[in-house]
Amino acid sequence: MAVTTVDEYLETLDPGRRAAMEGVREVILAHLPEGYEEGIQYGMIGYFVPHSICPDGYHCDSKQPVPFVGLGNGKAKMSLHMFCLYVDPPAVERFAAAWKATGRKLDMGKSCVRFTKLADVALDVVGEAIAAAPVNRFLDVYEGALPEKIMKKRGRYRMG
């Protein structure tokens, strides 16, 4: 049976991983701009732009809200899927430089940061990256990265 809430997800983790995931989650929630929601998305803890703000949803699957950040537990490592960086190459460069300046090793693909323990994570850098992407700004960058043929089918939605 698949989990449907964040609490259920966290309950499935062993105590060490749960503590690490909860530590990262605290930072995300403390820096998450207004308008994003937390829930289960793609089998992990997700932070996303709800359909109430962007009814068209995610361009790959319009039934899904637009993903912003995902926090997952993998077999070998935990992961922080920073979709907010994936669509914003300059933000990736700033993020990587700030992370490396902390002296911590960055294990990152295009936008997925992998870690084995909470001490591996540059929490201040994660918080800054999340706080730097209010919903309207994130949607502008996200939609700006979409091909024109997809954008013609989408509306423009903004908060307040």
* Residue 93 near residue 128, CB atoms below 8 Å: no
Note if the pTM is more than 0.95.
no
The percent of residues above 90 in pLDDT, for the chain, comes to 76
| Protein fold of 6-147 | Aspartate Aminotransferase, domain 1 (3.90.1150)
Each residue of 79-95: pLDDT tens digit? 999 999 988 989 999 99
pLDDT of residue 87: 86
Q: What is the pLDDT of residue 1?
A: 63
Please report where in the chains the tokens 């700030």 appear, as a residue: 98
Question: Which pLDDT score, from 0 to 100, does residue 128 have?
Answer: 97
Residues forming a β-bridge with 41: 44
Instruction: Reduce the DSSP state of residue 14 to 3 states and report it.
Output: coil
Q: What's residue 160's pLDDT?
A: 54
Half-sphere exposure of 119 (CA within 13 A, CB side): 1
> How many Cβ atoms are within 10 Å of 47's Cβ, its own excluded?
23
Query: Where are the domains positioned within the chain?
Result: 6-147
Give the pLDDT confidence of 115-130 residue by residue, as tens digits: 999 999 999 999 999 9
| Comparison of pLDDT for 116 and 157, the residue scoring more | 116
Residue 42: HSE in the Cβ half-sphere, 13 Å Cα cutoff: 21
**DSSP assignment, residue 61?**
B
Q: Tell me the CA distances in angstroms from 117 to 18, 19, 35, 62, one per residue in order.
A: 10, 9, 29, 34
The pLDDT of residue 76: 94
